[in-house]
Structure 1
Amino acid sequence: MLLDEIKDYLRITGNDEDTILENTILRGRTHLEGLTGTTLDFESEGLAKSLLFDYCRYAYNNASEYFEENFAGAILRLQLQSAVMELENQN
Structure 2
Amino acid sequence: MTDVTDELLQEFKDRLHITHKSEDSHLKSLLSFSYADISDKCGSFPLDTANQGKELVLERSRYAYNDALEYFVGNFLTQINSFALSNLPDEEATNVSQ
TM-score if structure 2 supplies the norm length? 0.83
5+ residue gaps, structure 2, are: 1-6, 92-98
Indicate whether 1:26 and 2:65 are aligned.
no
| 2:60 counterpart letter in structure 1 | Y
Which of the two has higher C-alpha Rg? 2
What per-residue deviation string (whole Å, max 9, x for no partner) do you get for residues 24-69 of structure 1? 0110000000111x21112111211111110111000001111111
Q: Report percent identity of matched pairs.
A: 32
Displaced runs of 4+ in structure 1, greater than 2 A? none
RMSD of aligned Cα (Å):
1.4
Indicate whether 1:2 and 2:5 are aligned.
no
Q: In the alignment, which residue of structure 2 is the partner of 1:82?
A: 87
Indicate whether 1:41 and 2:46 are aligned.
yes
Query: Residue 67 of structure 2: SS of its match in structure 1?
Result: coil
Moved more, 12-21 or 40-49: 40-49
